[in-house]
Amino acid sequence: MKLADRMNVIKPSGTIAMAEKARELTRSGRKLYNLDIGEPDFDTPEHIKRAAIDALVSGFTHYTSSLG
């Protein structure tokens, strides 16, 4: 597939590059505390899951006001 020439000016994501570097360091044996993309290494607490389910069942399925 031929991509448009303007695709050459798009810069790679710095966040993704940093995450990949962290994975490389981890694979090489370094102990890192990964804070890059926000994927927790623990499950969501049960009371939060239940509150989310209850909100969905009650029809709270829309965005909040953009005014805050």
Long-range contacts of 55-60 (CB under 8 A, 24+ apart): none
- pTM of this structure: 0.42
Res 68 pLDDT > 80:
no
Please report the pLDDT score of residue 37 as a whole number.
63
> pLDDT per residue over 8-62, tens digit each?
899 888 888 888 998 999 999 999 887 756 778 889 999 999 999 999 999 999 9
Nearest of 51, 14, 53, 54 to residue 36 by alpha carbon:
14
Please report the pLDDT score of residue 61 as a whole number.
92
